[in-house]
């Protein structure tokens, strides 16, 4: 027997339709590369999105065709996002911070037919067109006056949609239809395409809006620092319009001063970004004796959050840090570190141990730990294992059948993370499977050492990698990038680590570098670090 409820399809156009109808006047603020701030609202973005659908249809784009964007967070990008998805095309985001060869590979693999790009990426676009014959047309996210100098045939976004009607029938397709296409970072081989459905994105938005997740509301002003080209901007492109939150889109300026000014000028209450962005912001505030007047909470994800960062936000500025975990294949949010009843009843200092974990599973998902043979491991907070996840927002395969079958016999996806899960249900990443330092048959967590080292007053960023050792297989070494004007030596860092990590975890060498390389999404790029260490040998006495 079926239920007697209406069979409405869960397509993402319903989200922007709701925003326009019930929160149409709620403001959307964009800042461009020159710092110019422009203002619009959900009603106007909804109308422009309809014009985008008509412009795409006029260009011969049909449901299932890929439409690529390569731009920063802006209202124009948001209109293109919903305009493509609403008419059944697949919105395919390209990361302009990737190497040109990677961008070309991704665009070619996706078979994108239209490219809508930020004017600042014009050089990349020119290179791309030489390598990706499927791209038929280029549009730049700007008005006519903002068009970049280029020899390619292109048109401004505003001109492209100007004569199109703000009326288009959206969502006339099944909710399981493809909606968006985002590629993994490709740190271990070619990037792989994750093809989201309308249903998965809609469900993900509802999951993230839970009180024990991002907990966004119509009363929030959201600064969306997470790039729209990075895993659905952590779903905020859907969850913020769903509740009618004011949306502040910062463009490409991510320095501490620029982020701080937007927070204060726009009355931001919530934001989300990777740790490196928040570290730059806090450094700026500390150096200039700044305070927040409206910011209440931030979500930090993309990589593990150092304790020093959580404490600085909480103790110095009264801002709650919500740590989250996810990946491109999980839409991306999977867990959020919000206190349950028993943890909330503990003293503040005892709660810190839980804030440092990646958190509890969102409703609708399943999670387990297994060993290398696939056997389930206990949730005792001590036993590390491969983290496996399953649910309606989790990838079942890669676009183009890359990688073959990616699920185990029970339908779980292997995240590639090594984790523990405790009795309260809190998951903690101990490392990426490929980054674990395997010393003497035991695992050393590079992430834990990095987070503790980053708490040293002189350290801006810390990175740990394993180096071949004649006796122990591998031993950890620590690379430190110091804060501007700060000084420290290896003895200082070792003294700071002493007593905070197991003695056998102590790095065999500590190197000071001008800059620790970061990947295109702000994570520490250990592939580049390892390449830079070619020819490096551990200190002579390391085998003793």
pLDDT tens digits for range 141-165: 999 999 999 999 999 999 999 999 9
Which position among 329, 430, 448, 521 bears the catalytic label?
329
Q: How many CA atoms lie within 13 Å of 393's alpha carbon, on the beta-carbon side?
A: 28
The confidence score (pLDDT) of residue 187 equals: 52
Cβ count within 10 A of residue 495: 11
Q: What is the 3-state secondary structure (H, E, C) of 448-469?
A: HHHHHHCCCCCEEEEEEEEEEE
The confidence score (pLDDT) of residue 483 equals: 92
d(CA 191, CA 200): 21
Which residues, in sequence order, are bridge partners of residue 212?
Answer: none
The confidence score (pLDDT) of residue 359 equals: 96
Active site residue 184: yes
What are the residue ranges in the chain where pLDDT is below 50? 542-544
Lookup: tokens for 318: 């009264």
Q: Which secondary-structure segment (H or E) carries 429?
A: strand 427-432
Q: What is the pLDDT of residues 233-286, one digit of tens each?
A: 999 999 999 999 999 999 999 999 999 999 999 999 999 998 888 988 999 999
- Beta strand extents in 261-358 (DSSP E only): 270-273, 297-300, 320-326, 333-336
The structural domains of the chain, ordered by start, are 435-543 (3.30.300.30)
The confidence score (pLDDT) of residue 473 equals: 79
Q: Determine if the peptide bond prior to 332 is cis (ω within 30°).
A: yes
Which position among 136, 350, 434, 438 bears the catalytic label?
438
The confidence score (pLDDT) of residue 540 equals: 53
Which residues, in sequence order, are bridge partners of residue 68?
Answer: 92, 115
Q: Cα 241 to chain center, whole Å? A: 19
Which position among 11, 40, 121, 184 bears the catalytic label?
184
d(CA 78, CA 72): 10
Which position among 159, 424, 443, 474 bears the catalytic label?
443
The confidence score (pLDDT) of residue 333 equals: 97
Active site residue 81: no
């Amino acid at each position: 027997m079926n239920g007697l409820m209406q069979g409405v399809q869960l397509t993402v156009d319903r989200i922007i339709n709701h925003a326009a109808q019930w929160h149409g006047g709620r403001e959307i603020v964009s800042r461009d590369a020159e710092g110019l701030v422009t203002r619009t609202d959900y009603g106007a973005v909804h109308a422009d999105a309809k014009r985008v659908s008509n412009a795409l249809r006029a260009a011969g784009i049909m449901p299932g065709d890929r439409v690529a964007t390569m731009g920063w967070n802006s209202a124009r990008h948001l209109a293109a996002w919903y305009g493509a998805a609403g008419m059944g095309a697949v919105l395919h985001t390209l990361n302009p911070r990737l190497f040109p060869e990677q961008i070309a590979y991704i665009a070619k693999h996706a078979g994108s037919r239209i490219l809508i790009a930020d004017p600042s990426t014009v050089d990349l676009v020119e290179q791309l067109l030489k390598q990706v014959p499927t791209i038929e047309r280029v549009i730049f996210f700007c008005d006519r006056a903002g068009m970049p100098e280029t020899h390619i045939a292109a048109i401004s976004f505003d001109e492209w949609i100007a004569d199109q009607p703000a009326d288009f029938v959206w969502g006339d397709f099944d909710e399981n239809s493809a909606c968006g296409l985002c590629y993994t970072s490709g740190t271990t081989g070619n990037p792989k395409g994750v093809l989201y459905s309308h249903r998965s994105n809609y469900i993900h938005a509802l999951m993230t809006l839970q009180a024990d997740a991002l907990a966004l509301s119509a009363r929030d002003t959201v600064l969306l620092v997470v790039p729209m080209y990075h895993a659905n901007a952590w779903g905020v492109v859907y969850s913020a319009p769903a509740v009618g939150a004011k949306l502040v889109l910062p463009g490409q300026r991510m320095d501490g001063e620029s982020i701080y000014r937007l927070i204060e000028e726009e009355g931001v209450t919530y934001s989300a970004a990777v740790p490196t962005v928040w570290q730059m912001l806090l450094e700026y505030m500390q150096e200039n004796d700044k305070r927040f007047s409206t910011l209440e909470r931030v979500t930090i994800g993309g990589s593990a959050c150092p304790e020093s960062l959580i404490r600085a936000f909480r103790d110095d500025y009264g801002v709650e840090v919500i740590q989250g975990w996810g990946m491109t294949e999980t839409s991306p949010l999977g867990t959020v570190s919000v206190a349950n009843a028993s943890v909330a009843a503990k003293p503040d200092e005892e709660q810190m141990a839980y804030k440092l974990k990646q958190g509890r599973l969102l409703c609708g998902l399943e999670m387990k730990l297994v060993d290398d043979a696939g056997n389930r491991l206990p949730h005792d907070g001590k036993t590390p294992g491969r983290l496996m996840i399953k649910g309606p927002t989790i990838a079942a395969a890669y676009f183009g059948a890359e990688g073959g079958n990616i699920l185990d016999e029970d339908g779980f996806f292997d995240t590639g993370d090594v984790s523990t899960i405790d009795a309260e249900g809190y998951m903690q990443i101990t490392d990426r499977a490929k980054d674990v330092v395997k010393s003497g048959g035991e695992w050393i967590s590079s992430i834990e050492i990095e987070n503790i080292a980053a708490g040293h007053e002189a350290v801006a960023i810390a990175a740990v990698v394993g180096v071949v050792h004649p006796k122990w297989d591998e031993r950890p070494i620590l690379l430190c990038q110091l804060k501007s004007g700060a000084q420290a030596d290896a003895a200082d860092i070792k003294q700071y680590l002493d007593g905070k990590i197991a003695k056998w975890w102590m790095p065999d060498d500590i190197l000071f570098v001008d800059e620790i390389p970061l990947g295109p999404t702000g994570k520490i790029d250990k592939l580049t670090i390892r390449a830079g260490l070619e020819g490096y040998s551990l200190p002579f006495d390391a085998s003793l």
